[in-house]
Amino acid sequence: MGLGEVTNLLVTICLFAVPATSFLVSSRRGVVHPHPSSGETCHAFATSTTLFSGGFGAQKSKPKAKKMNASQAKKAQKQLLLRYGGDIASGTSSRIARAIDALDPHLKEAAGLYKQVTQFDALVSPMTEEDRKRLIPLVQEEMANADRARLLSLMEDHDISEQDLHNVYQEATWSASADAKATQADIAGNKMKPELQDRITKACRIAVDASQCEDSVGRVLDVGCGHGSIVLSLTEEGLGNPDMYVGVDLSPEMINAAVERYGSERNGRTGNGRTFIAADFLRHDFEGEFDSVIFCSALHDMPDCLGTIEKAATLLRTGGKLIIIHAQGAQHVLGQHKANPVMVKRGLPLAQEWKEMIASDSDLKLELDIEPADPRSTREEREGYLAVLTKTL
Ligand SMILES: C[S@@+](CC[C@H](N)C(=O)[O-])C[C@H]1O[C@@H](n2cnc3c(N)ncnc32)[C@H](O)[C@@H]1O
C-alpha cells in the first residue's frame, strides 16, 4: 500500500477502527440514496478465475528461496528499476494510471467518481455537523452530491457494485506493484525484519498445526496470498506437502509472480503441487473444506470485512482456525486507512468488535482464541496484530 494511490489525499482525520461511511448513504444535505443493487452478482469487470498448479518438479517440497549474493541482488535491483522507469514509486503510479485508463469508459468514469466520493466521505465522516458546516464550503458539498448522484446512476445503468469499484483499485495497485514486491522479497531472501518475521512465523505455525491434527483435512488457504510471501514460512513450519497449500489473490500479476516462485513443487510423482488462484476471494467457489484460512496483511484490503469473515468461516472444517495476522499491527492499518480510504476501507477488527460480531451473528460459528492487541498498546508493539478464531459446531 501507499503506492500511487496515496497521492490525492484529502483526509486528515479518521475514525478509530470504524469503516468509512458508505458513499451510498452519506450526504449532509440529507439525501439518503437507496442501495442500487446487492452487488454480489455483478461481474462487470470481475477478474477471470485462473487456476494454476503443478509442473514437473521435486519429489519433496522445499520452496526454492533463491538466496541472492550481493552482486546478484544489485543486478536484480538495477533490472527492477529499469522495468519501473528508474523509480519504483513513480513507476508504480504510472502503471496504476495506465490500468485505470484502460478500463471501459463507463467503469473508468465510475472508478474516478468512486475515488472522489470515498475520499470526501472519509474527510467529513469524523466531523460534527457544526464542524462540517464551518469547514466544508457549500460548493464542495454540492460537487460531492453531484458526483454521488452521477456515480449511482452509472452503477445502476451498468450493473456495477461498490465491491467492483473497490476491486478496480485493489487490482490495479497490486498488479502494478507485484513485480517490485516479489523481486524485493527475492532480494531479501523472502524474509522480513526478524521481529516482524517472528510474528508471521507464529501465525503460520498455528495454521500448519491445524492441518496436522487428528481431524484435519490437510489443506490451508492463504487469502490475498500476493506473490506467495508466506509460502516459505508455512513450509518451514511443517507444511511439507505442497498439495496442502491453496493461495488466492485478486491480482493476476501477483499470482503470476507466486506461480513463478512456488508453483512448480509437486508432492512426489502424483501430487498436483500448490494451487494458486487469480480471483476475488468473495466471489470464488472453493471446493472442499480447509483446516485453516489465513489472511496475512490482507483482511484490510477486502471490500467487506464482515462478509469476508463469514465466507472464511464457511470454508473451515469444525475445529479449523481462522488466522488474521498483520505483523505491523492495527495502528499501521489505521494509518493506511487514513492515507488511502479508497484502498483500505477500515481498520482491523479489535477484540471487542470480534466479540460483538460473534455474539450478534449466530451463523458465524466462531470462537475467539487469541484476542488481537489494541492499536498503540505495548502488547501491539511487542506482537503486532494477531487474531485467531476456531470454527465451532
Ligand atoms: C497487502 S497485500 C498482502 C500480500 C501477502 N499476503 C503478504 O503478506 O505479503 C494484500 C493482497 O490482497 C489481495 N487482495 C485484495 N483484495 C482481494 C480479494 N477480494 N480477493 C483476493 N485477494 C485480494 C491483493 O491483490 C494483495 O495482493
Q: Which atom of ligand 1 is nearest to the CA of 303?
A: 19
Q: In which order are the strands placed within the sheet that holds 290-296? A: 50-53, 275-278, 245-249, 220-223, 290-296, 316-326, 385-391, 366-370
Q: Which atom of ligand 1 is nearest to the CA of 295?
A: 6
Q: Which residue has the cell 456515480?
A: 151
Please say if the pLDDT value at position 11 is more than 70. no
Between CA 167 and CA 172 the distance in angstroms is 8
* Integer Rg of the chain from CA: 21
pLDDT over 90 for what percent of the chain? 77
Contact criterion met (CB below 8 Å) for 7 and 114: no
Q: Which atom of ligand 1 is nearest to the CA of 254?
A: 27
Determine the residue of 92, 95, 174 to mutate for testing ligand 1's pocket, defined as the one with the most ligand atoms within 8 A of the Cβ atom.
174
User: Coil, helix or strand for 370?
Assistant: strand
| Amino acid 65: pLDDT | 57
| Amino acid 23: pLDDT | 53
Determine the residue of 95, 161, 166, 249 to mutate for testing ligand 1's pocket, defined as the one with the most ligand atoms within 8 A of the Cβ atom.
249
| Res. 30 pLDDT band, cuts 50 70 90 | very low
Per DSSP, 79 falls in state: H
Chain segment 41-97, per-residue pLDDT in tens: 222 222 333 444 433 333 344 555 557 889 999 999 999 999 999 999 999 999 999
Q: Output the CA 131–ligand 1 centroid distance in Å.
A: 36
| Amino acid 66: pLDDT | 57
Residues 6+ away with beta carbon under 8 Å from 277: 49, 50, 51, 52, 246, 247, 248, 249, 255, 284
Q: Which residue ranges have their beta carbon within 6 Å of ligand 1?
A: 170, 174, 224-226, 229, 248-251, 254, 280-282, 296-298, 301-302
Please say if the pLDDT value at position 8 is more than 60. no
Please give the residue that has the higher pLDDT: either 207 or 13.
Answer: 207
Please say if the pLDDT value at position 393 is more than 60. yes
Contact criterion met (CB below 8 Å) for 325 and 367: no
Mean pLDDT, range 175-179, rounded to an integer: 98
Between CA 49 and CA 164 the distance in angstroms is 15
Please say if the pLDDT value at position 40 is more than 70. no
pLDDT over 70 for what percent of the chain? 83
Q: Output the CA 293–ligand 1 centroid distance in Å.
A: 14
Helix axes 88-101, 105-124, angle to 10 degrees: 120
The distance from CA 288 to its chain's CA centroid, rounded to whole angstroms, is 22
Mean pLDDT, range 122-129, rounded to an integer: 96
Please say if the pLDDT value at position 21 is more than 50. no
Which of these, 192, 183, 185, 173, lies nearest to 325 by C-alpha position? 192
* List of long-range contacts for 5-8, beta carbons under 8 Å, 24+ apart: 5/96, 5/169, 5/173, 5/340, 5/342, 5/343, 6/339, 6/340, 7/93, 8/115, 8/119
Domains of the chain: 52-65+190-391 (3.40.50.150), 75-188 (no CATH)
Average pLDDT of every residue of the chain: 86
Determine the residue of 170, 197, 297 to mutate for testing ligand 1's pocket, defined as the one with the most ligand atoms within 8 A of the Cβ atom.
170
Mean pLDDT, range 215-231, rounded to an integer: 97
| Res. 272 pLDDT band, cuts 50 70 90 | confident
Per DSSP, 5 falls in state: G
Please give the residue that has the higher pLDDT: either 267 or 115.
Answer: 115
Between CA 293 and CA 291 the distance in angstroms is 7
Between CA 21 and CA 16 the distance in angstroms is 13
Lowest mean pLDDT across 25-29, 40-44, 79-83, 203-207: 40-44
Q: Which residue has the cell 511439507?
A: 240
Q: Output the CA 216–ligand 1 centroid distance in Å.
A: 26
Please give the grid coordinates belonging to residue 32: 439518503
| Res. 195 pLDDT band, cuts 50 70 90 | very high
Contact criterion met (CB below 8 Å) for 147 and 23: no
Q: Which residues pair with 326 in a beta bridge?
A: 385
**DSSP letters for 183-195:** HHHHHTTT---HH
| Amino acid 191: pLDDT | 84
Contact criterion met (CB below 8 Å) for 312 and 387: no
Residues 6+ away with beta carbon under 8 Å from 152: 24, 33, 36
Please give the residue that has the higher pLDDT: either 268 or 314.
Answer: 314
Chain segment 291-318, per-residue pLDDT in tens: 999 999 999 999 999 999 999 999 999 9
Mean pLDDT, range 139-155, rounded to an integer: 98
| Amino acid 244: pLDDT | 96
Q: Which atom of ligand 1 is nearest to the CA of 173?
A: 25
